[in-house]
Amino acid sequence: MQKRELVYEGKAKKLFKTDDSDLYISEFKDDLTAFNGAKSSSEAGKGALNNKISTELFKLLDSRGIQTHFVKMLDDNHMLHKRADVILIEVIVRNIATGSLTRNLGIKDGTVLPFTLVEFDYKDDDLGDPKLNDQHALILGLVDYQDELDKLRRLAREINDILKPYFKDKGLNLVDFKLEFGKDSSGNIILVDEISPDNCRFWDINSGEKMDKDRFREGLGGLKVAYEDVLRRILGDSA
């Protein structure tokens, strides 16, 4: 399967058409951005690590009945997947308070939440990805029906119920993560984008060490080493 026309270039990936109208290829980039692009850099090999991690996690979710866009990993930096019309809602799943939840609501950093929190952000860089409630999403036409919002929440919780114990077994706390969904050619809502340390927060259960993009956001260094450790644990060589 060969890359054809470039369809879209985002912060972390390039999206290409293929000879099959229902299949696209994503190229995972080494670029790093934070704070809506205010901070940027690059880390050689980061894209390949995210592709490999996402591949393993999509395969896991597929095996557990979650519909995703994943077809196969083509090489280190390229993934073949189904074409989907992306729903412009970022679905944020939180198990432990940190980041914007701590800043905005004053919940102490590291507080284990009494239940899994699911939030919606409007996927719009120009507006800074603002928070959405259900009425906002319907007014903006981001979904057609309330039932679709309910399904996004339900899928997010189901995915969390799979990934949270999975990572616990790998010695990692799944603190929070961002999901994106789209509609395939049959109109089914499926999981798209990626699942990686770029859009998940992982804390080592024993040390509390951050194993995700917060290492870049906070200037901690060692980002590639952390991503490599996450992949190593996923592949079975746990710390």
pLDDT tens for each residue of 64-113? 999 999 999 999 999 999 999 999 999 999 999 999 999 999 999 999 99
The two most distant CA atoms of the chain are separated, in Å, by 51
pLDDT for position 39: 86
**What is the third-level CATH fold of 6-82?**
Phosphorylase Kinase; domain 1 (3.30.200)
Among 95, 121, 91, residue whose Cα is nearest residue 107 = 95
Per-domain residue ranges of the chain: 6-82, 85-222
Contacts for 137 with CB less than 8 Å, ≥ 6 apart: 89, 120, 143, 149
CA 191, 195, 196: angle at the middle one, nearest 5? 170
Backbone φ, ψ for residue 160 (5° rounding): -60, -40
- Hey, what are 154's tokens? 């339900």
pLDDT tens string 188-230: 999 999 999 999 999 999 999 999 999 999 999 999 999 999 9
Split at pLDDT 50, 70, 90, the class of 34 is confident
pTM exceeding 0.85: yes
Mean pLDDT in residue range 29-33? 93
Tokens 């280190």 correspond to what residue? 76
Q: Are 106 and 80 in contact (CB under 8 A)?
A: no
> What is the C-alpha to C-alpha distance for residues 106 and 119, in angstroms, rounded to an integer?
17
> What is the C-alpha to C-alpha distance for residues 214 and 234, in angstroms, rounded to an integer?
20
pLDDT for position 103: 95
- What are the CB-based long-range contacts (under 8 Å, 24+) for 139-143? 142/87, 142/88, 142/89, 143/87, 143/89
Residue length, the chain? 239
pLDDT tens string 99-144: 999 999 999 999 999 999 999 999 999 999 999 999 999 999 999 9
Q: 3-state class of 132 per DSSP? A: strand
pLDDT for position 38: 78
Q: What CATH number does the domain located at 85-222 have?
A: 3.30.470.20
Enter the DSSP assignment of 155. H
pLDDT for position 237: 55
Tokens 């999981």 correspond to what residue? 191
Contacts for 210 with CB less than 8 Å, ≥ 6 apart: 201, 202, 203, 218, 220, 226
pLDDT for position 239: 37
